[in-house]
Chains A and B, each alone.
Chain A
Amino acid sequence: DAKTTQPNSMESNEEEPVHLPCNHSTISGTDYIHWYRQLPSQGPEYVIHGLTSNVNNRMASLAIAEDRKSSTLILHRATLRDAAVYYCILYGGSQGNLIFGKGTKLSVKP
C-alpha cells in the first residue's frame, strides 16, 4: 500500500491560514489523495480529495505538486473548531478501504 508521511503535530493561530503538508513519494497513477479529519471522540470527516489538479471546496483547498509526490491541505482561516487530527490518505478507489496513518494533530490557539 502506498504510504504517506505527515508531521505529527502543528500549531496555528485562530483566523490565520494553515498549510498541512503530506508526502507520498510512492503514489501510483490511479491513487487519489484524500484528506479526512477527526475531531476528538468523533468519527473521521471527509475534507477534500484530488487527483492531479488543485481543488477547492467550502472547507479547504488542496494543492497537489506537479509530480504528485506531495500535497498540501490549506485551511484559509483556522477556527477553534478546526482543531483535529488531519489524515492524508492515498485511495485507489478500487482497493475498497482507507488506510489511516498517524495524521497531523492540529492545535488552534485563540
Chain B
Amino acid sequence: GAVVSQHPSRVICKSGTSVKIECRSLDFQATTMFWYRQFPKKSLMLMATSNEGSKATYEQGVEKDKFLINHASLTLSTLTVTSAHPEDSSFYICSASTSSAYNEQFFGPGTRLTVL
C-alpha cells in the first residue's frame, strides 16, 4: 500500500519558537494533502487542505498565519507552527490522496508536538 511518512515523530520546543513538520508520500504522487490535529482522547480535526502548487484551504477557526502550510511538490507538504504556545501541543497527522477518481487517503504516523 501507499506509504506516508512524517518527520519528526516527536518534537519538544520552547514557547515562542517555530516548528516545521514534514509530510512525504514515499511511493506515490499526492495531489492533495491534509493536515489534522488531535488532542488527547479526542478525534482528529481537519486543519487544512492543500493542493500542490496552490494555497492551502483552512478550516474555520484555524489561523492561517500561525499554521503555515506549503505543498511545493507532489510528494512533500510542510506544516510550520509559528510562535508556538503550550496550547499548540498536540498530535499532528497528515494524509495524502492521489488523483484517482476515488481519492483514497493515506495517513502518516503523526508528529507529537510538546511546547514548554
Query: Which A residues lie at the B interface, using CB under 8 A?
Result: 32, 36, 38, 41-46, 87, 93-94, 96-103
Residues of the A chain whose Cβ atoms lie less than 8 Å from the Cβ of B1: 46
Residues of the B chain whose Cβ atoms lie less than 8 Å from the Cβ of A32: 102
Q: Whose C-beta in chain A lies nearest to the C-beta of B100?
A: A93
Residues of the A chain whose Cβ atoms lie less than 8 Å from the Cβ of B67: none
Interface assignment of B75: CB less than 8 Å from any CB of chain A: no
Overall SS of chain B's interface = strand
Nearest 7 A-B pairs (CB), nearest first?
A: A43-B107, A100-B44, A100-B43, A43-B110, A44-B107, A43-B93, A43-B109
Find residues 37-93 in chain B having any chain A CB closer than 8 Å to their own CB.
43-46, 49, 91, 93
**B109 pairs with A98, CB closer than 8 A:** no
**B103 pairs with A45, CB closer than 8 A:** no
**A97 pairs with B34, CB closer than 8 A:** yes
A38-B6 Cα distance, complex, nearest whole Å: 16
B34 to A: closest C-beta gap in Å: 6
A38-B107 Cα distance, complex, nearest whole Å: 10
**Contact A102 to B43, CB < 8 A, known contacts A43-B93, A44-B93, A96-B32:** yes
**B91 pairs with A98, CB closer than 8 A:** no
B63 to A: closest C-beta gap in Å: 19
Residues of the A chain whose Cβ atoms lie less than 8 Å from the Cβ of B34: 96-98
Q: Whose C-beta in chain B lies nearest to the C-beta of A38?
A: B44
A44-B45 Cα distance, complex, nearest whole Å: 12
B61 to A: closest C-beta gap in Å: 15
A54-B74 Cα distance, complex, nearest whole Å: 34
**B43 pairs with A43, CB closer than 8 A:** no
